């Protein structure tokens, strides 16, 4: 319990407290994980494939619930969220999953504008924000008119990142965002994420760490077999 006289400490943006995630068959994707992520911090989740990095990302955005332990995001317990609370929380997060989940039945601009529309922004404002987000990830304006499947893997990755930042989130969660990129592309994407961090956005990124040198300012959490080793 915090003493009444001590100044209130801000909540960490993300807090994992002894979190375990078991999948069917009892396999532990994550085992007693405890860590925090503060505002404006860059955390890299490294480790081999299947280590549990994606599980952390999915738990942090409420796509999965912990089997035990507590996942807090922006001071809210993910497992206790009811009704529209979780969607509202997700609006303050920008998520890029391994499967980029771009919709090929509509233009790039409509893909990027979707979170803004879901947040209730007007059509015009959502498209303006989407244009700005595309520019932010260094994609030319005419890319907005084409469909995602007409772009290269690297461009699609950027589109997914643009969609993640269109609502100006406090936290960007990225799962292997450099997976489809060459070294130059990966470096550019990491630089972009670092710029977000400089602007006060927290970034949690899962990576093999092979495509490009890891950002110097990032804190690394190395994970193996569901355990955070450092």
Total residues found in the chain within this entry: 230
Q: How far is the CB of 75 from other proteins (least distance, A)?
A: 17
Binding mask 121-140 for other proteins (x = CB under 8 A): xxx-xx--------------
- For the four alpha carbons of 191, 193, 194 and 195, in that order, the dihedral sign comes to positive
106 vs 217, which CB is nearer to other proteins?
Answer: 106
Task: Give the one residue of 117, 146, 179, 220 binding other proteins; rule: CB under 8 A.
Answer: 117
Q: Which of residues 155-184 bind other proteins (CB under 8 A)?
A: 163, 167
Task: Give the one residue of 34, 48, 75, 101 binding other proteins; rule: CB under 8 A.
Answer: 101
Does position 65 interact with other proteins (CB under 8 A)? The reply is no
153 vs 213, which CB is nearer to other proteins?
Answer: 153
146 vs 187, which CB is nearer to other proteins?
Answer: 146
105 vs 142, which CB is nearer to other proteins?
Answer: 105
Query: Which of 59, 58, 61, 164 shows the shortest CA–CA distance to 115?
Result: 164
Binding mask 66-95 for other proteins (x = CB under 8 A): ------------------x--xxxxxxx-x
Q: How far is the CB of 9 from other proteins (least distance, A)?
A: 27
What is the rounded CA–CA span in Å between residue 126 and residue 11? 30
Q: How far is the CB of 158 from other proteins (least distance, A)?
A: 17
Number of residues that bind other proteins (CB under 8 A): 28
147 vs 219, which CB is nearer to other proteins?
Answer: 147
Name the pairing type of β-strands 202-207 and 219-224: unpaired
Per CB under 8 A, residues contacting other proteins are 61, 63, 84, 87-93, 95, 97, 101, 103, 105, 114-115, 117-123, 125-126, 163, 167
């Amino acid at each position: 319990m915090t003493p009444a006289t001590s100044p209130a400490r801000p909540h960490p943006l993300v807090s994992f407290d002894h979190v375990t995630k078991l999948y069917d068959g009892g396999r532990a994707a994550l085992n007693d994980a405890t860590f925090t992520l503060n505002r404006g911090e860059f955390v890299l989740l490294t480790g081999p494939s299947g280590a549990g990095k994606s599980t952390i990302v999915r738990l942090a955005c409420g796509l999965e619930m912990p089997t035990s332990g507590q996942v807090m995001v922006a001071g809210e317990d993910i497992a206790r969220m009811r009704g529209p609370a979780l969607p509202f929380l997700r609006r303050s997060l920008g998520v890029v999953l391994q499967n980029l989940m771009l919709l090929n039945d509509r233009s790039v601009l409509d893909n990027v504008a979707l979170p803004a529309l879901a947040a209730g922004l007007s059509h015009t404002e959502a498209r303006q924000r989407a244009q700005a987000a595309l520019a932010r990830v260094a994609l030319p304006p005419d890319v907005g008119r084409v469909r995602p499947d007409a772009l290269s893997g690297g461009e699609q990755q950027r589109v997914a990142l643009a969609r993640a930042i269109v609502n100006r989130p406090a936290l960007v969660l990225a799962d292997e965002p450099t997976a489809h990129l060459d070294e130059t592309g990966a470096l550019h994407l990491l630089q972009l994420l670092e710029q977000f961090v400089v602007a006060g956005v927290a970034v949690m990124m899962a990576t093999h760490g092979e495509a490009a040198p890891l950002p110097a300012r990032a804190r690394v959490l190395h994970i193996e077999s569901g355990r955070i080793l450092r």
